[in-house]
Structures are given as C-alpha cells and as structure tokens.
Structure 1
C-alpha cells in the first residue's frame, strides 16, 4: 500500500517534553496506532475491506 506524509501543528514545548520520555521512532509508532484506531472507528467495514483487497492484488 502506498503511504503519504501527514504533518500536524503541535506545541513545541509539549513535543520537547514528550521527547524526554519517548524517542522519535516510538512517537511515530504511537501516532500510527492512533491514526489506525481513527480509521477503524470511522471508516465503514465494507470500505476497509475494499481497500485491503485492492492492496493485495
């Protein structure tokens, strides 16, 4: 499946504090998990299945 870059605005001080406890790879992994949960919650199952099927061709 193709991927794309997502950029968001977030408070610099908050991000710097977060980086004291998590490295960038961990933060990225966590963000991917949050996006996946949003996807699963909001995209109907039949659409998810169609997208997954198209990726397996």
Structure 2
C-alpha cells in the first residue's frame, strides 16, 4: 500500500498530487480499474492480442 506523509506546512492538495503520481508510477490505479469487474480468461487473451494492433 502506498502512503505519502505530509511535510511540515505542506498543503493537502500538493500531497494528494504526490500520492496520485506515486500510484500512477506503480500502476495501482490501473490495476484497480481492471479488477473492478471479472474478466474471463478468453477476454483477457483477446484484449492482449488486440493491444499491439492498437498502438499503430
């Protein structure tokens, strides 16, 4: 679990921004969004096969 400690005199919005950046770097938010609903193994495989095509 990620945590960000407030520095002395630091505004909360700045600490929240640091937390969000940290979560983005770790990929935590992306994983939570992916696990929100169950995805069948066949759907996962199909999604992985389409991913390289989508880049171009």
TM class, shorter-length? 0.3 to 0.5
Normalised TM-score (structure 2):
0.43
Between structure 1 and structure 2, the one with the greater Rg is: 2
TM-score by length of 1: 0.42
Asked which structure has the greater RCO (Cα within 8 Å, sep 6+), the reply is: 1
